[in-house]
Amino acid sequence: MKVLVTGADGQLGREIRDLALSEEMTFTDVAQLDLTNFSAVSSLFEEKGFDLVINCAAYTAVDRAETNEELATKVNNEAVANLARLCLEHDTRLIHISTDYVFDGNQPTPYKEEDATNPQSVYGKTKLAGENAILETGCEAMILRTAWLYSSFGANIAKTILKFADSKQEISFVYDQIGTPTYAADLAQVIGLLVQNPQKFRSGIYHYTNEGVASWYDFAAAIVSLSKSGCHVHPIETFEYPVPAPRPTNSLLNKRKIKDALSITIPHWRDSLAKCLEKLNS
């Protein structure tokens, strides 16, 4: 199977690369391929004849997106539309990574795939626009929404907390936003399962995070505890840490659909966090 992985230098892309799924995989990031350049992407499709595209590319700077909507739109919507159009033309399947930010976070229960979207940030709005662009083409596509992604690769919240824990005596994180920290290596394994078992591919929108529930305070406290740091974590409320982009209060995603479709068991976030920290320590 010939596979294109975009956004390959990001944390999920690096985890997929680490799996070494096939010798017929092409890894690109913005330095090698500008996804907003339709002609360039089309030429690559013509040259390689891909069977599957895994789109990990995204503008993920949530707060900067509030003042950089044009770039966020180009990457999260227009580039995705280019990929979807080319996938349709070349009979290529698409796996696209999306986000919990397509929801407003006000629902008291975990979000199902069919629940109404209502993004509150520029980031969420542009990611939802990308989802819709895929659906409008009618190409074969699995849209995987995830949340609170972290990895041993790249810059992410888990590594930031570790850095703070090593350098500060006290840190503060909000306790009134809940979700599920998701180890990018676990999501990469699910994508790898689809690469190696193409018969399991079923078009549609799916949710994937690790199991369990946490606040950002819980996540930070777990990292501090597992790293055996003497740093003290303080719980604070959202209003005490103002940021440009609003965050969903509830980022919990219901994962029943993907568990049934792929017959998978999903690890608990604490178990996966321990694995990630062990990898970082080694």
Beta bridge partners of 236: 174
217 is catalytic: no
Backbone Cα Rg of the chain: 18
DSSP the chain: --EEEESTTSHHHHHHHHH---SSEEE--TTT--TT-HHHHHHHHHHH--SEEEE------TTGGGG-HHHHHIIIIIHHHHHHHHHHHTT-EEEEEEEGGGS-S--SSPBPTTSPP---SHHHHHHHHHHHHHHHHT--EEEEEE-SEE-SSSS-HHHHHHHHHHH-SEEEEESS-EE--EEHHHHHHHHHHHHH-GGG---EEEE---BS-EEHHHHHHHHHHHTT--PEEEEE-GGGS--SSPPPSB--B--HHHHHHHT--PPBHHHHHHHHHHHHH-
101, 123, 150, 175: which one is catalytic? 123
Active site residues: 123
